[in-house]
Amino acid sequence: MDHRWQTGLLLIFFIGISALLGVLVNRGSIPLTFLWKSSNSITASAVAVGAACPNCPQPTIACYRHEDCDDRIAATRDICRNPGTEFSICVNR
């Protein structure tokens, strides 16, 4: 058998196994702990902006509260989504 066929069949096999595992985990048939060991603890860390990389571009924060999104149109509602994060966005409805 040509090596390209072998490679293709092996790739299809691994994609099929990955898809099957994804479906089974999504349905709840296989718990995630079956695939890897996890602990019950939660870890988190915080990094001061600019502390690790002072020359790196800083994230743009669009708004911290609803008042930051005022478009000066009384007929719209000014909404700050994800306030204080780099994913913040102003919505005016």
Q: How many domains does the chain have?
A: 2
Flag whether pLDDT at 15 surpasses 70. Answer: yes
Q: Is residue 53 part of a domain?
A: no
Res 89: pLDDT: 92
Q: Is residue 51 part of a domain?
A: no
pTM (global) more than 0.75 = no
Three-state secondary structure call for residue 66: helix
Q: Is residue 12 part of a domain?
A: yes
- Asked if 49 and 59 touch (Cβ cutoff 8 Å), the reply is yes
Owning domain of residue 81: 59-93
Q: Is residue 76 part of a domain?
A: yes
Q: What is the pLDDT of residues 39-89, one digit of tens each?
A: 554 454 445 555 667 777 888 899 999 999 999 999 999 999 999 999 999
Q: Is residue 65 part of a domain?
A: yes
Q: Which helix (H) or strand (E) holds 19?
A: helix 3-27
Flag whether pLDDT at 1 surpasses 90. Answer: no
Q: Is residue 41 part of a domain?
A: no
Res 62: pLDDT: 92
Q: Is residue 23 part of a domain?
A: yes
Res 93: pLDDT: 87
